[in-house]
Every structure is written in structure tokens, then in C-alpha cells.
Structure 1
């Protein structure tokens, strides 16, 4: 039985993956602080991103990735929930005033998974096969190696997308390995893609925990779950993205690695058709400095004319 005054209140989307992530956070919080899981409430909040799934439109077309967090943010600011549990890659680069990302769980597999019920790899797809995705990053990366493929709109939760493959809506797609693993569906991946070639989205594979600014109690509670290496990597990737967000809406990839307090970040931007690709890398001990350096170098490499042509589209 849930207590009348919960130890903490978690806000989450209602998709199977979002609920699995919220339940993981609840379990870890309960273990870390010696309380019953039932004393931590989970509130399911419908977001604009969820309601737009049926449209199949890309997030870029309908308002950006903040669509998956806006209503949760509003509930936090209204004092209705205390902790927002997010897939970090869905969080807008600039948090709303009054909120901050305070902690990150240890990162899951960052790779994308190739998914098909017809073939075993991207190379085995027939000419002009249909590749389903509404991610401009995934579309550009696929077109970079297979420019003959037809990109078709493809949104929905994991189960929906798998069913679309079975229904023949597309011949193949990509999903994040992290999401499949958290749902116990990792075995469904046809193949895990090389992240050096198919660079993940910034912050992919990390669960972020948002709290209100000034809420010292909640900040202390989630701090017990924070994984320092993941926090550093996500900090660098989001810092890079902050530089790029001010310049363009092109596909962006990021890949971090680190040890002994030193972090290396590789960043990538592509044209929507995958024909142009710019990459940069930097290493050091300050995640924000590294991210800003990579972002600035990518902008400098691409140049204002190149960036402008894709911004206008």
C-alpha cells in the first residue's frame, strides 16, 4: 500500500520503455535510502511527443525533442512531481528555468541496433529497399553508406516499430540498443551497429534525473544514483550540442570514452542526405570545455554557408 505522503514522486512518460526506466529509478532509490518501493510514487504524464506518434513526422518538423519532456517539466515546476525520469537524448539542450539535470544512471549500450525481419545487415538490403526512421541522424548515416535506400517515416514505441516491420511498412529500421536491453528485448536486435560508423545521438543510452533548482532534498536523494563517468560524458555531449543548436538543425552524432579522469569526445554533423560529413575530437579533464571545443570546431569546419543551406530546409 502506497503511503499518503510519498517519500518521492517520479514523473514519467507512459511508454513501456519509459515505465521500465521509472521503475528502475524507483527500485534504486528505495535500495539507496532504505525505503519500500511502494513509498515512491510514479505519475504517468502524457507528453506532446507521445501524442504525435501517429503522425510519423520527425521531431525536427514538429518542435524538437523537448516534446517528450515539456509536460513532465511543467508538472515538476507546479510541484506535482519531484523527479523527472528521462531518456537523456530526448531532453532539450537548454533546461527550463527552475529545473536541472542532477544525476545520470550508469549508461547502457550506446549503439544503435539494425532491425529487420528480412535480412541480416544493412549491406544485405536490396537496392531501393525501404528504411524506416524519423530520426534525421539515422537517415543521414544510413544514406551515407546506402544512398540508394528509400527513407520512410517510422515512429512509435519499440513494440509498435517491431510490428511495423512485421507488417511490411519498412524493410529495416534502427532502434537504440539501450532501450531494447532495458525492456529485456536485446535478443531481437538483428545486429548491433559499429558506433564508429553509426555514431549515436548525443546522450543516447543514459537515463537522466531532473529535479527543481533549490530542492536540496531531492538533489541529495538522486545524487546517490549518479554515475560520475556517465555524468561527465553526457555533460560533454550536451555542451557540444549547445554550440551546434545555435547554428544548425543538421544531424548530430556523439561518441564518448574515458578512463582515469580523462575524457575523449568525438562529434559528427552531417547533411540531411548524408553526402557531407564533418567530424572532430577532443580530450581532457573538463567535460564542458571538451564539448564546446568539439562543437566550435565542427561549426568552423562546416562553415556558415554550409550550415545555412540545411537550416533553411
Structure 2
């Protein structure tokens, strides 16, 4: 493997690890995995220690041409930090800036930042998708920290000449997905009745394989420089449609009760779960047409195939 070295931070995470494996498969670039803990990537590529909260050694970036920054303090449902915004800023802004400045000093040519659609906001009006050119409107501390990191990176690019590319994914799913998506698969697999049979929203999702394909495209595409890209599978689904398709991928029939979304929102509000109801009933769409046009990129994996991949991985794990 002799291609340019590409450092991937957060290489033990859901997205970061997938990016490293994609680079190993393509053999066009030489991945370097920057991790905080032990990883199964040891022996497959160079592995270097990395922590968002710690100073960065010079050797980590030696010979690196491109950085793909996936590591982050991620959005969590039950925040425990006394000052969550400060905690997110420490990791996602200060840690990112420290890494970017060291990268620029080390001669890194391009810095690809995995941000979040939360920079745009939390929801859209149906059929009025977010655009990369929209004025950012983050709501929660995670989204705010990602927006501030984006702005800092663009300033560093102006000061140093290091190229910066920003990618804002919505919900990412695929083999090994966790959190709410995994919970939904378990509910469907067990035949749990869900009051989600009459949800008429529209949400953009992105398969892990589609996101990693876009990330790799941005490594050396000259049109990517200085751009912010939104990404999805190119097909928006309602929560009801997603559950039916997910159940089909699992070989199950979704048991969905046709409860009106308005009633779900009211009930959720009464028990302090308005945020959950919004994610299930609200719309969040993204416009990827500029991504397609600027990069000549198309999502290579269909929603059906991606759901089958996620279901197969789930089956393999659950039956072990």
C-alpha cells in the first residue's frame, strides 16, 4: 500500500472505522487510524493514539496528506454534564481546532470534517429541505459546537491555505448501527406493536456505505475544496415507511397502530418526551442536488440494500 497517507480520527467509531475499511478496500490511499482505545484495525494499518482533549504529538501527522476528522463528543439523549455546551465546545471546537492547526503546521493538504445536519437545525417543513447554503440555525449544544468548529476550520483555511471540506450527514444507519435505530430493529424483530402506523412526515437518512463513499470522493476531488456538502440516500421516507421497509429486511411484518401524529405529540409532551415525538413525527429533509452536481457523485447503495445489510449484521450479532 503506497498511496498518500490519510489520517482518520475516531477510527473505532461507527463512521470512522467504516472509512478506514473502505480505504483499505480501495487501496488508493494508505489509512492511518487515530484512536483513543484499542482497535481491531491493529495489524491492518498504522494506528496512532489520539484524544480530542489532549495535545497532539508531531509524529501522528508525519507524512499525512489528508485528515478525515470523524472523532467528536457525540449527541446523547441523556446529557449528564453540568454545562453541556462547555463540554461539547471543549471536544468538538477546541479539540478540532488543535488538530487542524497541527495538521496545517505539518503540511496536511486537506482536512475533511464530518459535521452534522444539526448545524442547519432540528426539523424542516415537509418538501422544503435544508440546503448547504442555508443560514445555520443549530438548536442544541452539539449542533452549536459543530457549527463553531466549521467556522473555525474555514478561518484556519484562510490563514494557512490548508483545504477544508465539510460534510453534514443526517441520521447514519448501516451494519453495526446503535442507539434508536437498533432499538427499532429489536422492536420490529420481536413483533412489538408500535403506534407509528399513520406518520406522514419525510426524513432523509444516509446509509453508512453512501456516507463513506462521499467522504472518499472528497479526498482528492478538486471541486470539494471549501465546500459544505449535505448527504443522504437520495430517497426520503416517512417513519411509517421506514418501519415497514426495515421489518421487510428483517423478514418480519411491522405491527403498526394508526395513531394520529398529533395525539402522539400531545402524549409525548405530557411525559416530557417532546424531542422523541419530533424525531418520530417531524420532517427533516436535505437537498443533495448540489452535492451531486459539484462532485458528479451519486449514492451508490439503495435504501433497500442498505437496510438488508443492517438487518443481516443485526441477525448475525443477535444469534451469536
Confirm or deny a common fold (TM above 0.5): no
The structure, 1 or 2, with the larger RCO (C-alpha pairs under 8 Å, 6+ apart) is 1
TM-score, L = length of structure 2: 0.29
TM-score (norm 1): 0.29
More strand by share: 1
